[in-house]
């Protein structure tokens, strides 16, 4: 509703003491998103108007958090009277018909419930509405805890009438309790369809309960869209993750950030994905993918580690105990096991053998390794950057490559083998002699 604006209230001073934490209460995450960000997201679904965020106490951490969310309308009311607070509020909400007060520590509160509150207020032409299951909500209301909707014209008039009394009011009187009887105020209680949405998080026990309920809500949403969960209660998915249909997710998966999973994928147990872009029909097992992409019909794992800035092509194979860092791996290439590929560009249909290392750091700076299409890199090869292996080239196992390998050439860079016959017998004779001399 474009004619409305939100005021998001952080926990009041001292309210987060039960968390026993140096972190402000509303910055604690629920399913990977802070409670404040949950409030901002719910408000943003209803209106494009920037909300006003009001906090108490030290606001430095909140200001940094809001800067990341690109929210600039922020004011501290720690030392203000309610009258001073209202002056800021009046400037912010000028031109809007309705104002909604939203405590930020209600992470389960949905946009649908807030929309119901707005429609109830407007449809019944009410001045003040509280969202609650308690029939005595207006008399038992706690400062800063209630979800309230006001008709702004009535609110301004009421605050103007009570201006002198408000001068002495502390900022924790944000529930407007003292002047709701002004004039012929039309007030009511709105009962949300799902009462658990009003669960207030004040300690870590409540936080864990909110996490469990939010996780189930998120997972059920994906299941309705065609995603299979083997065990939803042990699968952890953030609110901004997108999963296409016919993907199967086993327990123990952790999907975070803005991760996108294609259709027909299989996520076996134990994966962690953060801001990952996964194509269709990808198989992942017990692996980590961070800020990277994986192409269609590629297999990853078990125990692969794909670090930020990597792009894995389609029909590729990243096997067990392989680490990829800030590298491009082309279509159809295979890095099957126990290799490190960092700051590299690997072409298409390349075979990287077991134990291959891209030696990308010279002690001062990172250098690049380039491997052309259809190249074959044998086991236990060191590719010392900067170096290029051209297309269709072969590198013998155990080589340390420091110079360019031409196309279709075989590179062998290892010492000649020397066999010393009888060396073991002579060694044993020397050791026996030393023993006898020491006796």
Catalytic: 337?
yes
Which residues partner with 160 through β-bridges?
none
Q: What is the pTM of this model?
A: 0.86
Q: pLDDT tens, 8-19? A: 887 654 455 788
Q: Is residue 438 assigned to a domain?
A: no
Q: Is residue 73 assigned to a domain?
A: yes
Which residues partner with 305 through β-bridges?
288, 323
Percent of the chain at pLDDT exceeding 90: 62
- Catalytic residue from among 65, 296, 337, 374: 337
Judgement on whether residues 79 and 135 belong to the same structural domain of the protein = yes
pLDDT at residue 13, as a whole number: 45
pLDDT at residue 167, as a whole number: 65
Q: Is 147 helix (H, G, I), strand (E, B) or coil?
A: strand
Judgement on whether residues 60 and 183 belong to the same structural domain of the protein = yes
pLDDT at residue 7 is higher than 90: no
Asked if residue 53 lies in contact with residue 70, where contact means CB atoms within 8 angstroms, the answer is: no
pLDDT at residue 189 is higher than 80: yes
Q: Is residue 123 assigned to a domain?
A: yes
**CB-CB neighbours of 407 under 10 Å:** 13
pLDDT at residue 18, as a whole number: 84
Judgement on whether residues 231 and 193 belong to the same structural domain of the protein = no
Q: Is residue 20 assigned to a domain?
A: yes
pLDDT at residue 73 is higher than 80: no
User: What CATH number is attached to the domain comprising 68?
Assistant: 3.90.550.10
Q: pLDDT tens, 374-390? A: 999 999 999 999 999 99
Q: Total structural domains in the chain?
A: 2
Judgement on whether residues 189 and 305 belong to the same structural domain of the protein = no
pLDDT at residue 79 is higher than 50: no
Q: Which residues contact 168 (CB under 8 A, 6 or more apart)?
A: 81
What residue numbers bound the domain in which 53 lies?
A: 4-198
C-alpha span between 394 and 97 (Å, rounded): 73
φ, ψ of residue 428 in degrees (nearest 5): -65, -35
pLDDT at residue 161, as a whole number: 72
């Amino acid at each position: 509703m474009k004619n409305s604006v939100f005021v998001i209230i952080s926990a009041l001073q001292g309210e987060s003491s039960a968390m026993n934490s140096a972190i402000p209460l509303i910055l604690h995450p629920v399913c990977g998103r802070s409670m404040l960000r949950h409030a901002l997201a719910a408000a943003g679904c209803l209106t494009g108007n920037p909300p006003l965020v009001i906090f108490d106490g030290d606001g430095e951490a909140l200001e940094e958090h809001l800067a990341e969310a690109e929210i600039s309308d922020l004011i501290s009311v720690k030392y203000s009277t309610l009258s001073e607070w209202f002056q800021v509020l009046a400037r912010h909400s000028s031109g809007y018909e309705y104002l909604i007060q939203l405590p930020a520590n209600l992470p389960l509160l949905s946009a649908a419930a807030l929309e119901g509150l707005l429609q109830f207020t407007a449809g019944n032409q009410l001045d003040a509405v509280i969202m609650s299951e308690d029939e005595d909500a207006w008399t038992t209301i706690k400062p800063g805890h209630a979800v309230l909707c006001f008709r702004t014209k009535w609110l301004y008039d009421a605050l103007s009438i009570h201006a002198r009394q408000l001068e002495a009011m502390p900022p924790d009187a944000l529930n407007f309790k003292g002047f709701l009887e002004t004039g012929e105020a039309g007030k009511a209680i709105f009962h949300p369809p799902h009462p658990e949405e009003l669960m207030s998080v004040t300690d870590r026990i409540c936080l864990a309960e909110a996490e469990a309920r939010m996780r189930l809500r998120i997972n059920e949403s994906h299941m309705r869209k065609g995603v299979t969960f083997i065990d939803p209660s042990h699968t952890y998915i953030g609110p901004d993750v997108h999963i296409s249909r016919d993907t199967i997710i086993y327990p123990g998966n952790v999907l975070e950030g803005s991760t996108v999973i294609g259709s027909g994928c299989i996520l076996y147990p134990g994966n962690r994905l953060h801001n990952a872009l996964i194509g269709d029909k990808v198989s992942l097992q017990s692996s980590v993918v961070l800020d990277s992409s994986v192409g269609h019909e590629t297999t990853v794992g078990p125990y692969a580690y794909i670090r930020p800035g990597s792009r894995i092509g389609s029909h590729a194979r990243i096997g067990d105990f392989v680490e990829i860092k800030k590298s491009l791996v082309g279509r159809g290439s295979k890095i099957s096991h126990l290799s490190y590929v960092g700051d590299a560009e690997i072409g298409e249909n390349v075979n990287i053998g077991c134990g291959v290392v891209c030696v990308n750091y010279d002690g001062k700076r990172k250098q690049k390794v380039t491997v052309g299409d259809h190249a074959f890199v044998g086991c236990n090869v060191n590719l010392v950057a900067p170096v290029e292996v051209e297309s269709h080239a072969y590198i013998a196992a155990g080589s340390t490559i420091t110079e360019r390998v031409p196309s279709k050439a075989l590179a062998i860079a290892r010492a000649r083998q020397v066999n010393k016959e009888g060396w073991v017998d002579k060694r044993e004779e020397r050791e026996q002699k030393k023993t006898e001399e020491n006796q």
